C-alpha cells in the first residue's frame, strides 16, 4: 500500500499531474489556450476603448468623416449617370467608352483591387447581419406557419364552416336553427 501511495504522490503530489504535463507536450491545453485568447481579446478591446475614449469634435475630423462616406454614393450615382448618358447621347457615350478601352490592363487590376478591398469589409459585415436575420426569420417560421393555417383554414363544425362572429341576418339565423351550425 505504501508503494501505491508513494507512486501516486510522485505522479500527482505537490499539485502537479505528470500525465497532464506530458500530454501537453503533444497537445495544447485547450483551457489555457482559451484563457490566453480571452486575455488577448480583453487587451484588444481595452486598446480600442482607449483609442475612441475621446470623441473627435474638431472640424477636420467631421470633414474627413464626411469624405469617407462619399465614395459609395458617388459610385452608385455615377453608374446610374452613365446609363442615362448612354440613353441621352449614344454617340457621346460611345466616344467615352472608346477612351476607356485604351486604359492599360494593369491599371484595371489596380482599380479592382482598391475597390475590392474598400468594399470587402462592408460586404463581410452586411453578410453577417444577413445571416443573423435569416436565423431570426427561421426561428419564427413555425409561428408564421401556424398563423397562416389558422387564417386560411377556418374551423369546421358538423361538416360546415363555423364562424365565431354573431350575425343579424334573420334568414341565416333561421337556416342555422334548422340545420345547425
pLDDT in tens, 114-140: 888 877 777 777 788 888 888 888 788
CA dist 86 and 88 (Å) reads 6
Place of cell 505528470: 18
CA dist 69 and 66 (Å) reads 5
CA dist 78 and 11 (Å) reads 73
Per-residue model confidence (pLDDT) at position 83: 93
Q: Which residue has the higher pLDDT, 162 or 113?
A: 113
Per-residue model confidence (pLDDT) at position 79: 92
pTM confidence score: 0.35
CA dist 28 and 36 (Å) reads 12
CA dist 98 and 131 (Å) reads 42
Per-residue model confidence (pLDDT) at position 143: 82
Q: 78 pLDDT exceeds 60?
A: yes
Per-residue model confidence (pLDDT) at position 107: 92
Per-residue model confidence (pLDDT) at position 135: 81
Query: E strand or H helix at 73, and its extent?
Result: helix 71-88
End-to-end CA distance of the chain: 87
| Longest distance between any two alpha carbons in the chain, whole Å | 102
Q: How far is CA 123 from CA 12, 59, 103, 114, in A?
A: 53, 29, 28, 14
Per-residue model confidence (pLDDT) at position 172: 78
> Phi/psi class of residue 13: alpha, beta or left (left: φ > 0; alpha: ψ in -120 to 50)?
beta
**What are 139's three cell numbers?**
426561428
**What are 143's three cell numbers?**
409561428
Q: 13 pLDDT exceeds 80?
A: no
**What are 31's three cell numbers?**
483551457
Among 58-67, 68-77, 97-106, 146-155, whose mean pLDDT is lowest? 146-155
Amino acid at each position: 500500500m505504501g508503494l501505491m501511495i508513494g507512486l501516486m504522490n510522485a505522479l500527482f503530489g505537490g499539485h502537479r499531474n505528470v500525465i497532464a504535463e506530458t500530454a501537453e507536450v503533444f497537445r495544447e491545453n485547450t483551457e489555457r489556450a482559451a484563457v490566453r485568447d480571452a486575455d488577448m481579446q480583453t487587451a484588444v478591446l481595452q486598446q480600442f476603448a482607449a483609442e475612441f475614449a475621446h470623441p473627435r469634435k474638431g472640424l477636420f475630423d467631421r470633414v474627413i468623416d464626411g469624405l469617407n462616406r462619399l465614395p459609395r454614393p458617388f459610385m452608385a450615382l455615377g453608374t446610374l449617370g452613365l446609363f442615362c448618358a448612354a440613353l441621352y447621347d449614344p454617340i457621346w457615350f460611345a466616344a467615352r467608352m472608346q477612351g476607356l478601352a485604351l486604359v492599360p490592363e494593369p491599371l484595371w487590376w489596380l482599380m479592382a483591387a482598391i475597390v475590392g478591398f474598400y468594399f470587402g469589409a462592408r460586404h463581410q459585415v452586411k453578410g453577417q447581419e444577413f445571416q443573423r436575420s435569416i436565423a431570426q426569420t427561421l426561428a419564427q417560421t413555425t409561428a408564421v406557419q401556424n398563423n397562416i393555417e389558422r387564417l386560411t383554414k377556418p374551423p369546421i363544425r358538423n361538416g360546415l364552416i363555423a364562424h365565431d362572429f354573431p350575425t343579424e341576418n334573420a334568414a341565416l339565423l333561421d337556416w342555422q336553427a334548422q340545420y345547425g351550425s
